[in-house]
Structure 1
Amino acid sequence: MRALCWTGVNETSVETVEDPRILNAEDVVLKVTLTTSCGSDLHLIGGYIPFMRAGDVMGHEFVGEVVEVGTAVRKHRVGDRVVVCSFVSCGRCWYCTQQLFSLCDNGNPNPAITEALWGFAPGGCFGYSHAMGGHAGSHAQYVRVPYADHGAFPVPDGVDDMTALFASDAAPTGWTGADLGEVRPGDVVAVWGAGGVGQMAAAAAWTRGAERVVVIDRLANRLRQAEQHVGAETLNYEETDIGAELRELSGGRGPDVCIEAVGMEAHGTGPAYLYDQVKQQLRLQTERPNALREAIHACRKGGTVFTLGVFGALADKFPIGAVMNKGLTLRGAQMHGQRYIPEILERMAAGTLQTSHLATHVMPLEDGPKGYQMFKDKEDGCVRAVFRPHG
């Protein structure tokens, strides 16, 4: 089959690779109909997560058709149309029973790397390096889905593939931020980043009763999407003082909940951004945390800051003093998609959640390297590059 592979730092290529097969009784094999780029993939391509091997198949956000089922699969049949959670979770370990699905004890068959980095290993993720299990990714014509009864969800009739695609990762990641960030009715919520995850975090904040939702970015087309499709207020950090604006619209206090949806390669302005950029390029730190720093400083006293953007290991100049002295709650997580995907699909079926607008550029899988270059460079207003593996 054909698949988009990581072949080196800043290099990808569409290659012919072996077809996936059933390895465990709980697997299914899926014919991938749509799969999309994600901002966290750029960390892999850029070499910031150094656990990729040449030839690894990328991609973790996808929808498709079941073509083969393992003998222990009970919820799926050949021909079913399903969307798959990007994180691999067994559904029965202690963490899964607590609905902390991305922390599954069994989803990552190669836990040693992350145990050394973080003390304990999280679950596995499709196409996201050998640190996260070495699972082959979704930028391929076919993909093996482990623990399919827990990670694959039937797409409701009336929900098209392009809409359902973003129930795989972008939407449940946003839901994770709003839920675990404990957005409450009447809250003012600020979201850093107007990509797919940031927009979905803003949408999720509305569902939890937020009074005002503000999305912060620098790219006009993404800010327009956040306004038109999510109903958020927007701020361009290159044109205004974000801290002052947020205090102004929150009665002088600052937002109740600040959600950082950018991660380790955040763009920014000023000396702190340049400092982070130099240290990251020299590999003296793994992150550019300027958006997270801004969120911590902007949040009201006693508020909550939630990190949705992917971070790898170490960040310099982290404002722990502000966290402690302002009484902030600082949380983070990879998304617990199995907890939220059923609700998200229901909202899609009811027409109350829009996602297909994120797919600004749709192309064959063979154009995958071009799509990622457009996505990385934000060419032609690219928010997400979506690939059709079967043409």
Structure 2
Amino acid sequence: MRALTWQGTAKVSVETVPDPTIQEPTDAVVRITSTAICGSDLHLYDVLGMYIDSGDILGHEPMGIVEAVGAEVTHIKPGDRVVIPFNISCGHCWMCKRGFYAQCETTQNTDQGKGASLFGYTKLYGQVPGGQAEFLRVPQAQFGPIKVPDHHPDERFLFLSDVLTTSWQAAKYADIKPGDTVFVTGLGPIGQMCARIARHLGAERVIASDNVPERLAMAQRHGIETLDTGSIDVPAAVFDMTNGRGADSVIESVGMEAHGSPIQSAAVKAAGMLPDPLARKAVDTFGIDRMAALNTAFAAVRRAGTVSIIGVYGGQADPIPMMDLFDKGVTLRMGQAHVKRWVDEIMPLLTGDDDPLGVDDLVTHRLPLEEAPHAYEIFKHKQDGCIKVVLKP
């Protein structure tokens, strides 16, 4: 089959690799019909190469048609249309029974001190081949795959794999109440959906910041008030818009890719240039993340407010303003999305003829899998109005 493989820092290529097969009775093999590029894939593309081997298959936002199932997989069958959650969860361990699927103890990477395995996401999370490929072996398929109806295009359901469920969890963790003002940092795909979901969950006002005109325009189409980070002091603007109080809740959706931290930006690049053992040590022991977005979130939240962090960070010793957070009495919630925990709440919003979350207005580029290297470049550099790319194997 053809698959998108990592070949080195900022270098990916589509290669011919062996087709996946059923290896365990809990496996399935899925023929991929759509697979998206995620912002966190750019972390692998640019920064976290010390945890990847040349030839590793990337991608964790796939869906397709079931080709084969193992003997213990009974809730799906060949021919079914399914979405594959990005985290690999068994559904029956102590964590899964409590809905903490991103911490599944069956697939937990205890040797790395990390949670459940993820598709296409480094040695830290199991080094499981990813979904930017023609076919995907799905471990724990007795639980993971989400069966979806046939009467809408892939893109209506594809984002259950990550974007929708991640954004839903971020908004839930933000403790939004009717009438609240919610501020969202960043308007990439996750930020876009966080903002829309915040409105759906009852926020009276949703304010979001970014510096990319196409992202700002997309958010405005969905009733989001926007702030251009390139022209104003964002926390000060949020305080002005909330009578000097600050946002009731802030959702930080940017993570380590934030601009505006030149010293830490240099540290990220320097770490990526080191030999793998030294680079891993740097990530494990130093604060290498760009903290601009996180600091903006902390500054913009009101006293006794909540900050929900869904942007991905990689540094182990990043500096955060603990005195300010303690003084303000801020609640912090964060973590990988427990995908299947939220599916039943979201699915009714996707199956009708209407589109209350605006899912049909997110994809800006649909490209063949063979053009994946080009897709990574335009996504990374925010070229050609690129906000969300879906690859078609």
Q: Same fold (TM over 0.5)?
A: yes
Q: What corresponds to 2:268 in structure 1? A: 280
Query: Do residues 187 (structure 1) and 193 (structure 2) align?
Result: no
SS at match of 1:295: helix
The offset of 1:226, in angstroms, is 1.2
1:218 to 207, 211, 215: 211
Match for residue 346 of structure 2 among 337, 344, 352: 344
Q: How far apart are the structure 2 equivalents of 1:343 and 1:149? A: 21
Map 1:226-305 → 2, pairs under 5 A = 226-228=219-221, 230-268=222-260, 273-283=261-271, 285-305=287-307
Corresponding residue number in structure 1 for 2:63: 63
The one-letter code of the counterpart of 2:389 is A
254 and 339 in structure 1: CA distance in 2 versus 1, 3 angstrom threshold: same
- 1:238 CA drift (Å): 0.9
Residue in 2 that maps onto 1:206: 199
The code of the aligned residue for 2:302 comes to R
Aligned to 1:251, what secondary structure does the other structure show? coil
Q: Which amino acid aligns with 1:8?
A: G
Answering whether residue 332 of structure 2 is matched by residue 330 of structure 1, we say yes
* Residue 315 of structure 1: how far off its partner (Å): 4.8
Measured in 2, the distance between the counterparts of 1:132 and 1:238 equals 35
Matched, 1:309 2:306: no
Q: Match for 2:363: what amino acid? A: A
Distance (whole Å) between structure 1 residues aligned to residue 123 and residue 265 of structure 2: 26
1:381 aligned counterpart, secondary structure: coil
Greater shift, 6-15 or 340-349, is seen at: 340-349
Cα deviations by residue, 1:44-77 (Å, 9 ceiling, x for unpaired):
0113352111100000001100010111111101
1:163 is paired with a residue of what secondary structure? helix
Q: Which amino acid aligns with 2:350?
A: M
SS of the equivalent of 1:264 reads helix
- The one-letter code of the counterpart of 2:183 is A
- Per mean C-alpha deviation after superposition, the further-off stretch among 277-286 and 37-46 is 277-286
Contact preservation (8 Å) 2:170, 2:310: yes
Deviations 1:92-111 (A, max 9, x none): 11111111111111224x43
Give the secondary-structure state (helix, strand or coil) at the position aligned to 2:19. Answer: coil
**Equivalent residue for 1:143?**
136
Is contact 2:22-2:137 (8 Å) kept?
yes
- Of stretches 138-147 and 45-54 in structure 1, the one that deviates more from structure 2 is 45-54
Amino acid in structure 2 at the alignment position of 1:16 = T
Which of these residues, 365, 380, 383, is aligned with residue 361 of structure 1? 365
Aligned residues of 2:363 and 2:388 also touching (Cα < 8 A): yes
Q: 1:124 offset after TM fit, Å?
A: 1.1
Paired residues of 2:62 and 2:83 also in contact (CA < 8 A): yes
Code of the aligned partner of 1:57 = I
Separation of aligned partners in 2, 1:354 and 1:147: 31
Identity %: 40
Higher mean C-alpha displacement, 281-290 vs 126-135: 281-290
2 CA distance for matches of 1:111 and 1:34? Answer: 31
Q: Deviation of residue 149 (structure 1)?
A: 3.5
Which stretch has the larger CA shift, 178-187 or 84-93? Answer: 178-187
Residue deviations 1:75-94 (CA, integer Å, cap 9, x gap): 10110011111111111111
Unaligned runs of 5+ in 2: 272-285
Deviations 1:84-141 (A, max 9, x none): 1111111111111111111111224x4312x1xxxxx211111011111111100000
Secondary structure class of the residue paired with 1:96: helix
Corresponding residue for residue 118 of structure 1:
none
Q: Map 1:29-40; keep pairs closer than 5 Å.
A: 29-40=29-40
The whole-number CA distance in structure 2 between the counterparts of 1:150 and 1:231 is: 37
Kept after mapping to 1: 8 A contact 2:197/2:357 = no
Say whether the 8 Å CA contact 2:298–2:325 is kept in structure 1.
yes
Q: Does the Cα contact within 8 Å between 2:166 and 2:310 map onto a contact in 1?
A: yes
TM-score for the superposition, normalised by structure 2: 0.93
The answer on whether the counterparts of 1:288 and 1:315 sit within 8 Å (CA) in structure 2 is no
Q: Which amino acid in structure 2 is aligned with residue 127 of structure 1?
A: G
For residue 27 of structure 2, what is the aligned residue in structure 1?
A: 27
Moved over 6 A (4+): none
Aligned-pair CA distance for 1:249: 2.1
User: 2: CA distance between counterparts of 1:158 and 1:245?
Assistant: 44
1:111 aligned partner, one-letter code: T
Alignment partner of 1:197 is 2:190: yes
Matched residue count:
377
Supply the distance in 2 between the matched residues of 1:185 and 1:89 (Cα, whole angstroms): 33
1:231-269 CA deviation, whole Å, 9 max, x = no partner?
21111111222112211222321001111101112113x
Greater alpha carbon shift after TM alignment, 279-288 vs 81-90? 279-288
Q: CA RMSD in A?
A: 1.4
